[in-house]
Structure 1
Amino acid sequence: MKRHLGSRKAVGIAAASALALTVTACGGGNDAGRGGDAAEGAPSPGITDTSVTLGITTPLSGATAGPGTCTVAGVTAYMGMKNAEGGIEFGDGKTRTVEIEALDDTYDPQQAKANYDQLKDDVFAMTAGLGTPTNRAWLDAAIADEVPQVLIMTGDPIFSETEQSPWQLGFVPIYQNEGEAFGELLATSTEEHKVAILAQNDDYGEGYVEGFKSAIEGSDNIEIVDELTYEATDTSVDAQLTELANSEADIFFNAMSVTPLMISALQKAQQLGWTPSWFLPSNTSSPTAILEPGGAAAYPGIYSVSFSKAPQSPAFAEDEDVQTYLSALKDYGNYPDPPAFPHCQWSWMVGATLEQAFQNMEEPTRDSFMEALRSIEGYEAPLMLPDTSVSTGEDGQPAVSTVVVQKFNGRGYDTVETFE
């Protein structure tokens, strides 16, 4: 079920023991000045005639290390592949290799800000990092410093609103888009449904719930019977699950971003004898890392949304994009196994989208880069599902705002058009 929501206003490397991961380009040098854009056309920090350096702050250890390491692995693999081919030809006619410096923030906002402060003077742009609170921690600083904070893994709409965030651009669909897609799917049903909601007590959870409620508004056959929250720092949601199970809801809308909590929630509901259909965010819906250990087969339906091909899906076993991606992920991303989290695919797409911007920036400056990045329209990045694309020109929307609703089939996901 395709959901194009562009008109609405309203993500393992063996890195646990290392705070920094540096991807060394095949060529490079530091033969250009670091004077920023003080003189028109003068190179910004982090770019020379032969290389460009990107920074990432993301969780490489802790509870969110699984998806966090993927946000580095995919873009590292993409740029490593391009470096091995000789680099990327930029719009100014020079060919450059891409270097990546990634620091571990353990999903801690204070550490994320410290990482940004460490990187900001040496990188051309910050990209790909996971998390709403962690990216928000240095949002104002990036604006003040005029450092691009782009194609990051958060669905917070503030990062895609040009007036408020002129140096920012999100990559994944905003939370409202995903929540709305779930609501629209449920609204196709003619049966009576009771909905229980559990949401993270922050902008992440609020955005999902806002989008979902807007889509079911006016549906007489859908009733929200209970709604609770949890904190991202909680180690258990057993109490919330126990209360929600008593609602006897047949639909569970679980806007949860923490992998261990999602697994335990799936297990706890079964222990309570509560087996509703589940709606899960795209970033916590991995079949191998979450659904299988959580015992998802016990439920009548697990639904999520996606915009990327899943390597573990039989439908894409022979897909050329997937084969190229998996090979590069192993060779250049230090990720030998098929990824359990979609963030690896997403950051591969980030690499391809960055290449599009690099190819069209006419000067080695952050200003020129942002202009080129915000001019991408209808780009079908490698690994994108049919009917989804990268478009960066609409204010209030991230690079990807089209999603496909899917149902878990025991191994991967199948696209669905109506609620079953």
Structure 2
Amino acid sequence: MNTRSTAARAISVLAMGSIVALALAGCARADTGGGDGDGAAASPGITDDSITLGVTTPLSGTTAGPGNCTVAGLVAYFGQAGPIEFGDGKTREVKVEAFDDAYDPQKALSNFQQNQDKVFAFTSGLGTPTNRAYREAAIEDEVPQVLVMTGDPIFSTPSESPWQLGFVPVYASEGSAFGELLAESSGEHKVAILSQNDDFGEGYVEGFKEAIDGADNIEVVAEATYEATDTSVDAQMTELAASGADVLFNAMSVTPLTIAAIEKARELSWSPSWFLPSNTSSPGGILAPAGANADDGIYSVSFSKVPQSPAFAEDEDVQGFLAALKEYSGAYTTEPEFPHCMWSYMVGATLEQAFQNMEEPTRENFMESIRNITDFKAPLMLDGTSIDTTQDGQAAVSTVVVQRYNGQGFENAESFE
């Protein structure tokens, strides 16, 4: 994986390639954004010729792999698409500036404060704590924070977060999908739960428990939590293995800890079926390094095609995505080892939909446009899933497909085995 850790990296996306963009030090406030003087004055970060998007995300640290992917797909999409014709008739180059927050909330807030007048909107960045860190500031200063990669439902509740919109399904939806699959199974199951001690983990567990409530064939026999800053979960895994559970609901978001948990279970000769979140079930970035195989009974959920899967080897969307990633995203990664690469590519396509309907170069008009997208089938989306930004309490993506790992990629799971 080709990543490069820096305090901030700026990528200017052009039809002919991706080049380093100069800092927009002189980016002016509303009355200097260009235009012919007719209509609304432009917001910061947009002119008649360009629009600049900001991404604060972990480009270094334990979540650097997924973090770099949150920029790579976005850069690839707009590199491939070239300048975009907006609803006001202007054709604009889309520039992407990425800022490293190392999954540190304070750094994410600082990134926002230092750059909110240089970019039009913040988008695509990874993490619940990091996105929450500048959410209130974005609301106060009326800066869009949209299609961010957190399943925290507060980002998709307009009454509470009028300048926000999440992209990935709310955490409870993923947890519920696992619970429903298990509840519909014919056998009896004992479940152990390992979750991150924050809104991420709590949301997953809440959705799972609601889905199994009343299911006579399921018993939760042990629960443990860990902190996102922990360097080991060996103690928790040892405790959970002693419960004799045959299913491990593993609500983890930290890549190295997920790999370590799979390895520890093997060391303990514990062989439960696994439920892994969509963001920590990458075949190339997590399962292969952990030595997982088709017999491990690993389940996850997805809404995007997986390039590593033989089922999509000849898929037109996948081939176009891989070509764009290779050509434009070398500063971040050209290998889609994490689903965030595909997700951010979809974010680019969704943003283009909003841009095409923007009749004024303002943040207010953009928010109206981004919240009015329905039944949009973004590139790489699985059958049965689509983009809908109009549902209160739901992210842009609200449907997922439960899948089982087959040793190379994932295939749809109609039932729990």
TM-score by length of 2: 0.94
- C-alpha deviation, 1:212, in angstroms: 0.3
Q: Which residue of 2 aligns with 1:280?
A: 276
1:59/1:105 contact within 8 Å kept: yes
- C-alpha deviation, 1:417, in angstroms: 1.2
Q: Which residue of 1 aligns with 2:205?
A: 209
Does structure 1 residue 352 correspond to structure 2 residue 340?
Answer: no
The verdict on how the C-alpha distance between 1:276 and 1:32 changes in structure 2, with shifts beyond 3 A counting, is closer
Deviations 1:33-59 (A, max 9, x none): 522799971100000001000001000
Matches within 5 A, 1:167-186: 167-186=163-182
For 2:385, what is the secondary structure of its paired residue? coil
Return the match for 2:335 from 313, 338, 346. Answer: 338
Return the match for 1:21 from 9, 12, 16. Answer: 9
Matches within 5 A, 1:196-345: 196-297=192-293, 299-334=295-330, 337-345=334-342
1:160/1:398 contact within 8 Å kept: yes
- C-alpha deviation, 1:82, in angstroms: 2.0
2:66/2:338 contact within 8 Å kept: yes
Does structure 1 residue 70 correspond to structure 2 residue 69?
Answer: yes
For 1:15, what is the secondary structure of its paired residue? coil
2:294/2:406 contact within 8 Å kept: no
1:198/1:227 contact within 8 Å kept: yes
- C-alpha deviation, 1:26, in angstroms: 3.7
The verdict on how the C-alpha distance between 1:185 and 1:36 changes in structure 2, with shifts beyond 3 A counting, is farther
- C-alpha deviation, 1:337, in angstroms: 4.2
- C-alpha deviation, 1:20, in angstroms: 1.8
Matches within 5 A, 1:20-169: 20-26=8-14, 33-35=28-30, 41-83=40-82, 87-169=83-165
Q: Which residue of 1 aligns with 2:367?
A: 370
| Unaligned residue ranges in structure 1 (runs of 5+) | 1-11
The verdict on how the C-alpha distance between 1:36 and 1:75 changes in structure 2, with shifts beyond 3 A counting, is farther
- C-alpha deviation, 1:266, in angstroms: 0.3
Number of corresponding residues: 405
Deviations 1:105-141 (A, max 9, x none): 0000000111111110011000000000000000000
- C-alpha deviation, 1:164, in angstroms: 0.4
The verdict on how the C-alpha distance between 1:25 and 1:242 changes in structure 2, with shifts beyond 3 A counting, is closer
2:57/2:67 contact within 8 Å kept: yes
AA aligned to 1:249 is A
For 1:232, what is the secondary structure of its paired residue? coil
For 2:88, what is the secondary structure of its paired residue? coil
Cα separation, 1, equivalents of 2:184 and 2:415? 6
For 1:163, what is the secondary structure of its paired residue? coil
Deviations 1:265-299 (A, max 9, x none): 00001111110000000000011111122122285
AA aligned to 1:320 is E
1:275/1:299 contact within 8 Å kept: no
TM-score by length of 1: 0.93
- C-alpha deviation, 1:339, in angstroms: 1.1
1:376/1:392 contact within 8 Å kept: yes
| Identical-residue share of aligned pairs (%) | 66
The verdict on how the C-alpha distance between 1:37 and 1:185 changes in structure 2, with shifts beyond 3 A counting, is farther
Cα separation, 1, equivalents of 2:279 and 2:397? 14
The verdict on how the C-alpha distance between 1:68 and 1:25 changes in structure 2, with shifts beyond 3 A counting, is closer
For 1:48, what is the secondary structure of its paired residue? coil
Does structure 1 residue 415 correspond to structure 2 residue 412?
Answer: yes
RMSD (Å) for aligned C-alpha atoms: 1.9
Deviations 1:82-104 (A, max 9, x none): 22xxx100000110010111010
Cα separation, 1, equivalents of 2:386 and 2:208? 23
